[in-house]
Structure 1
């Protein structure tokens, strides 16, 4: 899937749809709770970096970037410094990146908003780094975001609900599955709006009766048998 096609198809989806698709496809659900200071959806190949106190690692990464990549910054979730500021974001935009995902904090919020490139992070703080640590050998090949290790073999998707990472070699499958889940949910929502309750649609009374006879029956198993999608 090309970067433009990924952006176009994700524009009609949410990260929730993609997370549910991962559950359905038995792909690990790799999500983190990050927010953007300005509205902006994000989709692209992971461009991983590990921040150790200096912007040079970003500049080196930009030299390896392809159009539509997303700079994913591992700053160990630190909340005592900002590792990304306006100049790094401006340079990312000039390099053709789609945005940034930061496991840490940013600063220069007003200027970043003016640049218009989505930046997802744990929040903002005025101070920049006051340290300079040794650069790991894999600083440009892998990043740890929350509990997840990601690389350029992954795609990152972000919206108002947060960030999800998916394997690049399965993104076509997962996007298609997410679209089918979205379509099912839209049909269900339209029926509720027209007077058919969700309980009626999923035959909830039937489920309760079946569960009484078989206590091991789960609601998800009941839904899967009827093509429901409200829980995955």
Structure 2
């Protein structure tokens, strides 16, 4: 498979990445209109970690990690490596040695649609990773691929330089050109949720805060006592 390694692609502004890092994946996904989210099959190997960074993308042959080696050279401070394969694969394409090299270059984490291994070591060294599978199965280094090209992962197109936000809930991808706008929308959503949180702590119900009693009425949902229900007295 011939390929290409693209050097120095444009990246989202560092200040926008840092702004997005302050919000959870769920908040960012909602702020983008429930878009950009990867599927629930891509899960973290650790808990309690949130990262945000700019994507360096890899397109590899299944069971072959040659292009990850090539991608390490293209990674820098604040990046997140995003690895995909040309067809489904669960092989452990990434492990502790790759993480050591990437951490030396300031890379914040890995997201892959394939498999990883050495998960205990990754947790111990504090290198964050999200993957579709965990597998001890090794790989070869025999087939060409591409680095820093648009790739498809769980129905989302990831371009090099896009912002990747990942936490315990999963992964969301923010297009580079929208990073500032999505950060502002995430801030607005966070403020709205803070106001609702305060109201709930004060005893207000979501039924009243969100005007849902009228919605129930419109849908024909009624209230009745337990005795009425037991007696089969339905409207």
TM-score range (shorter-chain normalised) is 0.7 to 0.9
Larger Rg: 2
Give 2:56's aligned residue.
Answer: 47
Whether contact under 8 Å (1:77, 1:146) holds in the other structure is no
CA-to-aligned-CA distance 1:85-115 (integer Å, 9 cap, x gap): 1111111111111111011110111211122
Distance in 2 between residues matched to 1:41 and 1:121, nearest whole Å: 15
Q: 3-state SS of the aligned residue for 2:174?
A: strand
Q: 1:38 aligns with which of 24, 46, 49?
A: 46
Deviation at 1:187, TM superposition (A): 1.0
CA-to-aligned-CA distance 1:180-227 (integer Å, 9 cap, x gap): 112111211211121111111122234455678xxxxxxxxxxxxxxx
Distance in 2 between residues matched to 1:124 and 1:92, nearest whole Å: 19
Distance in 1 between residues matched to 2:55 and 2:206, nearest whole Å: 38
Give 1:220's aligned residue.
Answer: none
Give 2:5's aligned residue.
Answer: none
1:78-227 to structure 2, matched below 5 A, reads 78-79=89-90, 81-129=91-139, 134-136=143-145, 138-208=146-216
More displaced stretch, 49-58 vs 189-198: 49-58
Distance in 2 between residues matched to 1:151 and 1:54, nearest whole Å: 21
More displaced stretch, 179-188 vs 145-154: 145-154
The two structures have a TM-score, normalised by structure 1, of: 0.79
Deviation at 1:176, TM superposition (A): 1.0
Give 1:223's aligned residue.
Answer: none
The two structures have a TM-score, normalised by structure 2, of: 0.78
Whether contact under 8 Å (2:52, 2:164) holds in the other structure is yes
Whether contact under 8 Å (1:42, 1:99) holds in the other structure is yes
1:2-81 to structure 2, matched below 5 A, reads 2-3=13-14, 6-7=17-18, 9-23=19-33, 28-33=35-40, 34-39=42-47, 40-52=49-61, 53-75=63-85, 76-79=87-90, 81=91
Q: Quick one: structure 1 residues 116 and 158, their matched pair in 2 at CA, closer, same or farther if it must change by over 3 Å? A: same
Paired residues, number:
205
Deviation at 1:178, TM superposition (A): 1.1
CA-to-aligned-CA distance 1:59-93 (integer Å, 9 cap, x gap): 322222231010001134412x1110111111111
CA-to-aligned-CA distance 1:19-72 (integer Å, 9 cap, x gap): 111118xxx434232222223212111100122244432232222223101000
Structure 2 unmatched runs, 5+: 1-11, 221-235
Higher helix proportion? 1
Distance in 2 between residues matched to 1:67 and 1:11, nearest whole Å: 15
